[in-house]
Every structure is written in C-alpha cells, then in structure tokens.
Amino acid sequence: MAVPALRGAPVRTPARRPRLSFVRQVLTVASKDLRSELRTKEALNSSLAFALVILLLFSFAFEPTEAQTREISGGLLWLVFAFAGALILNRSFARELANDCLDALIAAPMSGAALFLGKALANFALLLAVELVCLPVFGVFYNVHWTGRLPSLLVVIVLGTWGVTVVGTIFSALTVNLRLRELMLPMLVYPILIPCLLAAVQLTSPLVMGQPLTPELMIWLRLLVVFDVIFTALAVALVETVMVR
C-alpha cells in the first residue's frame, strides 16, 4: 500500500555529505574505545591483575633457576597473554550493549570493516599494554634475561598479539548477544588460535633466553605472519554478516 506524500509539503532532497575516510573511521572507533576503557578501566584492570596473579602463581609451581623452566617460559608467557586477552576481548563488543550503542554504530554510514578494525586496534593497544607490563614481572619471577633480544621479541609479541586480537574481536562480535559469552568466547577462540600461539611460543622461548632466531625457526615467523594476514582478511570480509542478522 502506497502512502502518498503530504500535498504541498516542501519535499527535502537528500543532501550530499562528505564521506569520512576509511582510516579516519577506524581511528575514530579505536579512540572512542580507548577513551571509554581508560575512563572505566574495567577490562584493563581485570586483565592486568589476572595476568600478574597467574605469573606469580606459576612462579611458585616451577623452580625459577632450572633450565627447563626457562625453556617452557615462552609457553607460560603466551598462556598468560591468551587468558588476559580473553578478558579484554570479551568487553570489546559487550561495551556496546549498554544503551544499545551497537545499533547506533551499525546504523551509521560506516563500513563493518572500519568498525571491526577500529575495535581490533583498540584491543591490540590494550592487550599490548598489559603484555608490556607483564614482561618485566615475568623476567624477575622466572629469572630470564628477556631484554637480550628485545627487538626480535617485540616483533614476535606484536605479531602474536595481533593474531589473538583479530580472532578474538570477530568472535567477540559473534558472541556479544549470547548469555554465556564470557564462556563461549574462549571456547571458540582458543582452538582457532592454536597455530598462532604455537608459532609465538616457538619463537618466544629462545628469545627470552637470549638466543637468536635460527633459520629453522623462521618458518614459525612466516606462519605467524600468514596467520595474521589470513584471519584479518577473513574477519574483515565476514564482519558485516556477523553484525547484521
């Protein structure tokens, strides 16, 4: 049934408006998320406290002077990062539930990819901040000289953290309306993160012991890069479908 226009009403034609560039959209969302988080510190405080407690408890379980401990320290470190990351990632889209803010963002003329990348960028910055606080604590508790290969270690941490973030952020969008999202997110994300975490652990263990990355280890670095590229592309392609149902 057609609803005719009110007779005589001055019909308003849609105005052309300048578009916000994709990069500015991404940065707008990222800065909004960071500003919100820095005001409440909900995810940051819980994630940091959790990471430090785990590091402390693990240090009681292992004898820090033993060489074996140092060999598995990379694994311990990434276990802590992955658990701490889940707390940050869970809040990413859950933050939008209050007052139905997600609806306003979805209705806005912004691509799903920009929204996703903005959120991923904010999560990446938050998780990286937690990790950078954890590293010195880790060095003290486990008696490892993590500063010996710092540039290489930072590259591995950045690549591994982006992998965790990108997968976690897309699943955060997928699980945001679930009642058990705090449980569902880690259950869905960790199996997918296995290649990323495996590569990060393989690369981190020698680096925190002050050893260089040998040519044999470079395959893990390539795996980490490929994982990041594939899952970033997949997430960007799927985010619109995930958000609008």
Partner 1 sequence: MKAIEAAGVWKYYGDFPALRDISVSVEPGACLALLGRNGAGKTTLLKIVAGLSRAARGRVAIHGAEPRAQAARREIGVLGHAISLYDELSALENLRLFGRIYGLEDPERAASEWLERTGLERVRDGLVREFSRGMRQRLAVARAFLHDPSVLLLDEPFTALDDRAIALLQALLRQAVEQGRTVVISTHQLREALELATHVALLVRGRLAYAGERTAEMLEDTGWLYRHYGEPQSAPPPGARG
Q: Which residues bind partner 1 (CB under 8 A)?
A: 1-6, 9-15, 17-20, 24-25, 28, 32, 35-36, 39-40, 98-101, 103-111, 240, 244-245
Closer residue to partner 1, CB minimum distance, 37 or 131: 37
Closest contact distance (angstroms) between CB of 241 and partner 1 is 9
Cβ of 52: how many Cβ atoms within 10 Å?
18
Closer residue to partner 1, CB minimum distance, 4 or 151: 4
CA distance 21 to 207: 39
Angle at alpha carbon of residue 241, lines to 237 and 242, rounded to 5°: 100
Closest contact distance (angstroms) between CB of 25 and partner 1 is 7
Closest contact distance (angstroms) between CB of 152 and partner 1 is 38
What crossing angle do the helices spanning 112-142 and 150-175 adopt, rounded to 10°? Answer: 130
Closer residue to partner 1, CB minimum distance, 36 or 46: 36
The DSSP code sequence of 77-126 is: HHHHHHHHHHHHHHHHHHTTTGGGHHHHHHHSS--HHHHHHHHHHHHHHH
What one-letter code names the amino acid at 110?
M
Closest contact distance (angstroms) between CB of 31 and partner 1 is 9
Closer residue to partner 1, CB minimum distance, 66 or 103: 103
Closest contact distance (angstroms) between CB of 236 and partner 1 is 16
Closer residue to partner 1, CB minimum distance, 26 or 189: 26
The two tokens of residue 141 are 């508790």
Q: Judge residue 62's burial from the number of C-beta atoms within 10 Å of its C-beta, 0-12 exposed, 13-18 middle, 19 or more buried.
A: middle
